[in-house]
Structure 1
Amino acid sequence: MASTQRSGRSGPDALTDDDLVAGAHEEPELFARIYAALAPAVVGYFTGRGVEDPEALMQDVFLSVLPRVGSIAGGVAGLRTFVFSVAHARVVDHYRRVERRPVSVDYDPLLDDRAAPSAEAEALVRTGQTDAQLLIGTLKPEQRDVLMLRIVGELSVDDVANVLGKTPGAVKQLQRRGLKALREMVSEGVSAP
């Protein structure tokens, strides 16, 4: 009998290993269940990584993942790991594109309100970034990747190691150091730059 491991969620969006068994659902229904169960976490991962349009990038991930659902092993855990492997690759690609083609913005003197809060502070408020996102953004990139995949992606240490191409020991060390750095920033009352 197949396992009924859950995706970590409960309610109508819960996804079980039984849902992924061939023939358990019609293809559109299966895709809808997978999307409902994993899309919020993927958007959260992209938002935490500072992607400009997290919803668009999330849709790109699912366009890549859904045709391969039948070939993914490991049930819900394997599917989640695969989805976040693709998501992580999309983030890396996104930032490579951004670095190659910086965005140019025309100067508009009517929008220049530098006498008030700094332009950086205003931009962060407009993008809706929270203090937590700002603090996580101050971490080293590898620590940030590990924490985002572990917390937002709800991946195990082994799964994060597979996504990032690292050993489980390295992932644990990066997680420990990242959490320690965040604790120190919060306890010292240091606000993010």
Structure 2
Amino acid sequence: MGKTRRSGGDVREALTDEDLVPGAHPESELFARIYSALAPAVLGYFTARGVDDPEALMQDVFLSVLPRVGGITGGVAGLRTFVFSVAHARAVDYYRRIERRPRNVDYDPLLDTRAVPSAEAEALVRNGQTDAHLLIEALKPEQRDVLMLRIVGELSVEDVATVLGKTPGAVKQLQRRGLKALRELVSEGVMA
């Protein structure tokens, strides 16, 4: 069993295909290994997607995935693809619910985004130090989904195609166009 070093010096056991062989570990230990290996990426995916409670959605994903672990094929790569398929579906469901039922929020002048940006904020944009979330949000939804699954989820082109129900060629095009759009957004911010 290999160990992998995470940020901050944290060392965790890496999940291997052998770990997923039936009977290799007691069920509770297997679930703990899967959760430890994949939960940070799923949490990052939901955070990058801007959901209100990424931890709750992440827990929901693992509650759905863990009972089905025995039926998943393809080793760790197959498991990762399945986990992000469920995560993507949860994110889509989340935004569908939001669209159907607008949130009621008390007015808070500190949260009012209609204000003109400060001179400091404009200077940061001119220097190319833009907020990554704003850049990602400026992309088309399909481009954003592809880039988030490829970068945050660390999925292959084929796995992203499976998650989104697209061909690998379509995923490559969306990735290329998304990266091009990000470069143009950054260039416009620097040139402004």
- Tell me the TM-score normalised to structure 1 length: 0.83
TM-aligned CA distance change 1:120 to 1:41, over 3 Å: farther
2:156 matched to 1:159?
no
Sequence identity (%): 78
Q: Give 1:120 shift.
A: 10
Q: Give 1:183 shift.
A: 1.0
Query: 1:147 maps to what in 2?
Result: 147
2:69 matched to 1:69?
yes
Deviation string, structure 1 residues 74-124 (Cα, Å, up to 9, x no partner): 0000000000000000000000111111101233xxx4248x974698xxx
Cα distance in structure 2, aligned partners of 1:83 and 1:139: 24
Query: 1:127 maps to what in 2?
Result: none
Match of 1:188, SS state, is helix
Query: 1:49 maps to what in 2?
Result: 49
Query: 2:109 maps to what in 1?
Result: 112
CA RMSD of aligned residues (A): 2.4
Deviates more, 1:177-186 or 1:60-69: 177-186
Q: Give 1:157 shift.
A: 0.4
| Letter of the 1:112 counterpart | P
- Tell me the TM-score normalised to structure 2 length: 0.83
Structure 1: 5+ residue runs without aligned partners? Answer: 122-129
Query: 1:12 maps to what in 2?
Result: 12
Query: 1:172 maps to what in 2?
Result: 172
| Letter of the 1:56 counterpart | A
Match of 1:174, SS state, is helix
TM-aligned CA distance change 1:76 to 1:102, over 3 Å: same
How many pairs are equivalent? Answer: 174
Q: Give 1:14 shift.
A: 1.1
The aligned runs of 1:82-161 (5 Å cut-off) are 82-107=82-107, 111-113=108-110, 118=114, 131-161=131-161
| Letter of the 1:172 counterpart | K
Structure 2: 5+ residue runs without aligned partners? Answer: 6-10, 118-129
Cα distance in structure 2, aligned partners of 1:54 and 1:120: 30
Query: 2:31 maps to what in 1?
Result: 31
Cα distance in structure 1, aligned partners of 2:77 and 2:131: 30
Cα distance in structure 1, aligned partners of 2:166 and 2:110: 45
Match of 2:12, SS state, is coil
TM-aligned CA distance change 1:21 to 1:99, over 3 Å: same
Q: Give 1:12 shift.
A: 1.9
Q: Give 1:141 shift.
A: 0.2
